[in-house]
């Protein structure tokens, strides 16, 4: 079960967290402002009201969370939509039996300098996205567990992310992960 402190998300980018059954278990203030209250509702119902660009479809549909989780940690879903005449992206990433969905404006930006990750941080990020723990990352990379925790903390600061799941979601959004 998640502790209350895990529900504190960065309010600059809308973030929605759905459990394995597809029910929204948390969303930040930005997501509530953009989508309305969604906690306790199915994520596909929360996102289903968004207007899609011509020829685009959202990954959101009944059962999408379960399908994404069944596909494994290497998969993610992406889509584009319009809200208030502005184009946005949605990225849905499976992380530890949940799906983290981030919404961001479409502007084609690459990561800012302060968001640049070192090669070792990218190695750690890749393994976190694969569902590895600090201990298993340390073993696989041949480094100390405390070093892994230090890399995660640096990434959290660089990417302005409060949780490991948010770090992974930002990694997808910024193109560090496929």
- Per-residue pLDDT of the chain (178 residues), as tens digits, is 333 333 344 446 788 999 999 999 999 888 888 888 999 999 988 887 776 666 566 778 888 899 888 887 667 777 777 777 677 778 888 888 888 888 877 655 555 555 678 889 989 999 999 889 999 999 999 999 999 999 999 898 888 888 888 888 888 888 888 6
Q: Which CATH code for domain 113-173?
A: 1.10.10.10
Angle between helices 164-173 and 145-159 (to 10 degrees): 60
For the record, the structure tokens of 134 come out as 């600090």
pLDDT of residue 2: 37
Q: Tokens 């549909």 map to which residue?
A: 61
pLDDT of residue 41: 95
Equal fold, 7-105 vs 113-173 = no
For residue 140, the tally of other CB atoms under 10 A from its CB is 14
Q: Which CATH code for domain 7-105?
A: 3.30.450.20
Break the chain into its structural domains and give their ranges.
Answer: 7-105, 113-173
pTM for this entry: 0.56
Q: What is each CA distance from 16 to 54, 68, 92, 135, in whole angstroms? A: 25, 15, 9, 27
């Amino acid at each position: 079960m998640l502790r209350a402190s895990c529900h504190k998300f960065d309010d600059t980018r809308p973030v929605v967290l759905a459990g394995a059954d597809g029910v929204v278990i948390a969303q930040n203030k930005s997501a509530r402002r953009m989508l309305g209250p969604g906690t306790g509702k199915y994520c596909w119902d929360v996102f289903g009201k968004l207007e899609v660009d011509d020829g685009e479809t959202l990954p959101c549909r009944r059962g999408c969370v379960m399908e994404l989780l069944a596909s494994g940690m290497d998969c993610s879903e992406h889509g584009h939509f319009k809200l208030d005449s502005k184009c946005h992206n949605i990225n849905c990433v499976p992380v530890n039996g949940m799906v983290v969905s981030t919404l961001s404006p479409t502007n084609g930006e690459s990561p800012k300098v302060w968001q640049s990750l070192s090669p070792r941080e990218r190695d750690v990020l890749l393994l976190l996205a694969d569902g590895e723990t600090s201990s298993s990352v340390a073993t696989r990379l041949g480094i100390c567990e405390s070093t892994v925790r230090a890399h995660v903390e640096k990434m959290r600061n660089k990417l302005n992310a409060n949780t490991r799941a948010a770090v992974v979601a930002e990694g997808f959004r910024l193109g560090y992960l496929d």
